[in-house]
Amino acid sequence: MPRPLGELEDAVMTRVWKWNRPVTVREVLEDLQRERSIAYTTVMTVLDNLHHKGWVRREAEGRAYRYEAVSTRAAYAAALMNDAWSQSDNAAAALVAFFGMMSDEQRQALRDAVRIVEGTTEGAIGGSGTPEVAGEVPDTVQAPDTARAPETRDENPGSARDGHGR
DSSP line for 89-132: S-HHHHHHHHHHHS-HHHHHHHHHHHHHHHT--TT-TTSSS-TT
Contact 19, 68 (CB under 8 A): no
Question: What distance in Å separates the CA atoms of residue 125 and residue 134, rounded to the nearest whole number?
Answer: 10
Q: What is the pLDDT of residues 89-103, one digit of tens each?
A: 998 999 899 989 999
Distant-in-sequence, close-in-space partners of 87: CB < 8 Å, separation ≥ 6: none
Find the mean pLDDT for residues 55-63.
95
**CA dist list (Å): 108 to 4, 115, 125:** 26, 11, 9
Q: What is the pLDDT of residues 75-89, one digit of tens each?
A: 999 888 888 888 899
What percent of the chain is predicted at pLDDT more than 90?
57
The answer to which of 30-34, 44-48, 50-54, 141-145 has the lowest mean pLDDT is 141-145
